[in-house]
Amino acid sequence: MVLRRLDVRGLDEPLEAVLPRPAPPGPVSAAVAEIVAEVLSHGDAALRALTERFDGVVLDAIELDPEAPKAALDRIDDELRGALEVAHRRISAYHEHDVVAEWELHTEGVRVTELVRPVARVGCYAPGGLARYPSTVLMCATPARVAGVNEVVLCVPPGRDGRVDDASLAAAAIAGVDRVYRVGGAQAVAAMAYGTESVGAVDVIVGPGNRYVAEAMRQVSGVVGIPAATAGPSEVLVVAGPDTPAELAAIDLAVQAEHGPDGAAWLVTWSEDKLEEVDAALEAVVADSARRDELAATLAAGGYGCLVDGPEQAVAVANVVAPEHLELMVDDGRRLLERVRSAGAVFLGTRSPASLGDYVAGPNHVLPTNRSARFASALSTRDFRRHIHVVEADAEAIDLLGPCVVTLARTEGLDAHARSIELRT
């Protein structure tokens, strides 16, 4: 079998006790810490040395010519340009709808105003090198622009020829990226967090990456803004019933697994026959794929076929796994939706593959991974904006609410707090 079989039918103990958990960072943490320290100490020199070590590229200029994205946009074919523009339009529309407006509340003589202010500078990370992800450029830069961010920069690893691919650069032009840097990995995250001679420090860093990139974001969090859920290797959990087409379940497992090692692909079903069918179909997909090595590596470490008692237990498993992508590939998916508690994004029915969300559905494809969907959400305009509350009180508020402040302050032994009210009465 391609998928490692789990059977939780009739289980008496909690699912959390028996389902496999993601591996801790381990040696990755120490390796990333060394990279971050090197960039912090040596700036551009470290970026050049690390890019040569990890990407096999000797960099001259770290930043690309500002005209490079526009030139790439002019070079790409009309079909690709049209697809990028459709994706950008739909991503923009969704995030414009998602923008939270300022508001005001006036009660008992106190006016509270909620100000919403964008951060000044955002750094986007898009994987690159041997692959290219122009969709990620759109997903990271577009909501930042919608949120009103003044400057958006992009870090992307160079290919073996030292170039950044035209598709990613064209996406940068469409999304309104201001600067593009040819640097990737943990060193790119460190550069954007602390700044170097070429790369200015940013206020917020967003974007998906491998486990080194995700760990680097964890380590610089607090120095710079990092969304609550850093997006690491891709994950999917497909809930399939007896009538789910096996070939569709198999290809959707492969969609996320083909990103490469360290991800996860779960099939959860209450039909042993369906598990066998999907496993066989997935084996055929792997054998026929141009990315069979990436697929095989992901499935060997993180591919699971889980047998459950029924649809309700299937969703219970999903809530424990808290996958990046949850596909309810069953006819009654909407009924099950009310039971979903932890997922980065949910895709209902057989006509809603996660790949639709990866490109053109509109919501962001930068999603929480590594079970962080238990407490975090997809990237949105809120990750690029700060909420500042303003308090304005009148004499009525001091008379009405002041005694409560005095009582609470004296209870806590904070005499100056109490006196600050008494001097105003």
Catalytic residues: 324-325
**Six token digits for residue 37:** 């320290």
- 111, containing H or E segment: strand 110-118
Distance of CA 150 to the CA centre of its chain: 22
CB 3 within 8 A of CB 305: yes
SS3 state at 301: helix
Phi, psi values for residue 217, rounded to 5°: -65, -40
CB 107 within 8 A of CB 393: no
User: Within 10 Å of residue 170's Cβ, how many Cβ atoms?
Assistant: 24
How big, in percent rounded to 5, are the helix, strand and coil portions of the chain?
45, 15, 35
CB 219 within 8 A of CB 32: yes
Q: Tell me how far apart the alpha carbons of residues 57 and 48 are, in angstroms, rounded to a whole number.
A: 8
Instruction: Give just the sign of the alpha carbon dihedral 136, 138, 141, 146.
Output: negative
Nearest alpha carbon to residue 192 among 140, 120, 125, 134: 125
**Six token digits for residue 217:** 């974001």
Residues 6+ apart with CB under 8 A from 304: 3, 4, 5, 6, 20, 264, 265, 266, 267
Q: Tell me how far apart the alpha carbons of residues 123 and 44 are, in angstroms, rounded to a whole number.
A: 17
Q: Tell me how far apart the alpha carbons of residues 336 and 318 are, in angstroms, rounded to a whole number.
A: 11
CB 323 within 8 A of CB 344: yes
Q: Tell me how far apart the alpha carbons of residues 85 and 134 are, in angstroms, rounded to a whole number.
A: 11
First and final CA of the chain: distance in angstroms? 77
Outline where DSSP puts E strands in 55-208: 103-107, 110-118, 121-125, 151-155, 179-181, 204-206
Phi, psi values for residue 113, rounded to 5°: -110, 135
Q: Tell me how far apart the alpha carbons of residues 416 and 315 are, in angstroms, rounded to a whole number.
A: 53
Residues 6+ apart with CB under 8 A from 66: 178, 179
